[in-house]
Amino acid sequence: MREIVSQVLMVPPASVKPESRLYDLGAESIDYLDLIFRIEEAVGKKVPVSRWESFVRERLPGANLADSITVAFITEFAESERARV
C-alpha cells in the first residue's frame, strides 16, 4: 500500500509511513476514490465505494477523518477486502 499511496498522492515513497496521515501527504477527496480503484487492482476484485464508507464509519465513528485516515488504516482496509470471499 505504501507504493500505491505514494503514486496516488505523488509523494516520495520514503515519506509514506504507516502512521502518515493522508491529509498531511496532501490527499484530497478525489484521491480516496483513486485509492479505492488502486486497491481493486491490487486485490483483483471490485470494491464498492459504499464498502469503504462503511469501513470508515465502523472503524472511526465520529472521528475527524483528516486526522484519522493513515496509511495503516488504508492498508487495513485493503487487507480486509483481500480477505473477503
Question: For the chain, what are the domain ranges?
Answer: 2-83
Q: pTM, whole model, 2 decimals?
A: 0.90
| CATH number attached to the domain at 2-83 | 1.10.1200.10
Q: What is the mean pLDDT of the chain?
A: 93
Q: Which pLDDT does position 66 carry in this prediction?
A: 85
**Residue 7: its H or E element:** helix 2-9
**Confidence band (pLDDT; 50, 70, 90) for 73?**
very high
Residues 20-49: tens digit of each pLDDT: 999 999 999 899 999 999 999 999 999 999
Distance from chain centroid for Cα 71: 6
Q: Which pLDDT does position 53 carry in this prediction?
A: 92
Q: State the Cα–Cα distance between residues 76 and 54, nearest whole angstrom.
A: 13
